[in-house]
Amino acid sequence: MPESENRSVILDSVCKSFGEKIVLKNFSLKIPYGSKTVIKGPSGCGKTTLLRILAGLIFPDHGTVTGTQGKKTAVLFQEDRLFPTLTALENVSAVVPGNSKKEVAAKILTELGLGDPENLNSYPAQLSGGMKRRCAIARALAYDADIVLLDEALKGLDAENAENCARVIHSYTADKTVVSVTHLDTSLEKDYQKVVMPMNTF
Amino acid sequence: MRSADRNTGANPSPDNTLKKWEKPHLPKPVTAVFSAVVTFSVWILIWQIAYANIGISFIFPSPYQVVVELLRLLPQKKFIISVTGSMLRVILGYLIGIAASVAASFASHFFLPLKIFFSPFVKIVRATPVASFILICVLWMPSEAVPVFIAFLMVFPVVYENTLTGLSETPVELKEVASVYGFSRRQKLTLLYIPSVAPYFASACTTSLGLAWKAGISAEVLCVTRDSIGYYIYISKQYFETASLFAWTVAIIVLSVLLELAIKKSVGALQRAVRRKYAGK
Ligand SMILES: Nc1ncnc2c1ncn2[C@@H]1O[C@H](COP(=O)(O)OP(=O)(O)OP(=O)(O)O)[C@@H](O)[C@H]1O
Ligand SMILES: [Mg+2]
């Protein structure tokens, strides 16, 4: 086994179907630790499914995923999935390990333009769509993860915020393994390794 | 605000003329009280008419006789003691029932064999007439304990099943977030489970208190529990003191309404406290 095999996340001939619908067929991909990968493909081609397999939320029908065991994984879900009973600050601080959770959370939120106390103490229902997205991004970055999985990371953000969020994501994930899936061309992924995921037509 | 459509019309009418549908109404509470008084009076009237037609007061007393009897009972020591005794027994059984059923439902949710184990128990308790349970229990336990146990038995299935429903409706999306970010047990409890269970738990608490109260008093009647409302109902029936039977029943209804108010207030306060404690606001 070559050295690099021990230092990568490897998807080997992964197959996944939902009932009759085949979503992934013999999908293989090597993602070296610390690398940045973007997987691009049309809506419905199985990007979210792939990300869920990487996150260990669902399992492939056939094939194997190696290199994710024992690694901490942060997921920025395609939907924001914030806790409605927590404020923006609490949603983020909930995933921060160790002490000074609030400070760490507030710092990231501030960098993403939500540093105003009014925003920090708002519940998700009181935030705009783009604010919720930034809060979800902050949560994914605040977690002390080895692997960061991003699903349509900059969804619903205006150009200025998208640019800033991309910069903040880069700075927080410099030494992490990042897999981003999207159907758009965004500035976030311009230096990422590109993988094209075609629409399955089986 | 009743003036909402004033700003929207193409032809705004001057402010001092009210449109037809803007006629001033009586404030809500006044209408509510008024309709309650009317409804109440109509029913009392029906009662009075029934009494006049039956004409045998030891079978069917008049509203007046019942009020007189109730006023005679109210200041008596036995009334205070029996009301207190009945309430304490039912509330004790109720609280034990809530604690046990919440614990059982959480355990069942996470451990399927327990759910299977409790399933026949809950079904049987729901399907069996309370009287059967009461008469069986008299054989096994002292008459003071039966109302407590029966109240417990009424509460358990209702709170158990409602709590389980709440738990099963915990959003999968948020469960996935909790698992991805390695939430602690405590975080899962306060962020996932308590918010989903709370509305079901609150309504189950209210519903089951009424059940427990009625069943508890039935138990007192059938077991002739000393110092209880049920005991005096039993005695009234034995001596054909129908007015007294009615008066005790009125007391039970009034207390039931008061208990329901109290539980609604407590559950509301509890929910607010939980929200404040776990949601930081
Ligand atoms: N739990 C599921 N049950 C049934 N079908 C599913 C399930 N999850 C995904 N699918 C199907 O799998 C296919 C791929 O879905 P997926 O969400 O992975 O697409 P996607 O590439 O993320 O699309 P989008 O860009 O629109 O988010 C779709 O046809 C979808 O209907
Ligand atoms: Mg998707």
User: For every one of its 281 residues, what pLDDT tens digit does chain B have, with 9 covering 90 and above?
Assistant: 344 444 443 444 444 555 555 556 666 778 889 999 999 999 999 999 999 998 887 889 999 999 999 999 999 999 999 999 999 999 999 999 999 999 999 999 999 999 999 999 999 999 999 999 999 999 999 999 999 999 999 999 999 999 999 999 999 999 999 999 999 999 999 999 999 999 999 999 999 999 999 999 999 999 999 999 999 999 999 998 999 999 999 999 999 999 999 999 998 888 888 776 655 43
- Confirm or reject: Cβ of A197 under 6 Å from ligand 1: no
A84 in reach of chain B (CB within 8 A): yes
- Chain B residue with CA closest to A77: the answer is B177
What is the rounded distance in angstroms from the CA atom of residue A119 to the CA atom of residue A113? 9
What is the rounded distance in angstroms from the CA atom of residue B163 to the CA atom of residue B169? 10
Q: Look up the ipTM and state it.
A: 0.93
What is the sign, positive or negative, of the torsion defined by CA atoms of A174, A178, A184, A189?
positive
Comparing CA positions, the residue from B150, B261, B245, B264 lying closest to residue B204 is: B264
Residue among B177, B186, B188 with most chain A CBs within 10 A, to mutate: B177
Rounded to the nearest 5°, which phi and psi values hold at B217?
-70, -35
CA distances to A55, A94, A138, B176, B191 from A99, in Å: 26, 11, 17, 24, 20
* Residue listed under structure tokens 């009973």: A85
Q: Which residues contact A120 (CB under 8 A, 6 or more apart)?
A: A87, A88, A89, A106, A109, A114
The token duo for A154 is 């900059």
Instruction: Name residues 175-194 of chain B within 8 A of A (Cβ).
Output: 176-177, 179-183, 187, 191
Instruction: Name residues 177-196 of chain A within 8 A of B (Cβ).
Output: none
Comparing CA positions, the residue from A25, A31, A27 lying closest to residue A147 is: A31
Q: Which residues contact B27 (CB under 8 A, 6 or more apart)?
A: none
Angle in degrees, 0-180, between the axes of helices B77-110 and B194-223, rounded to the nearest 10: 140
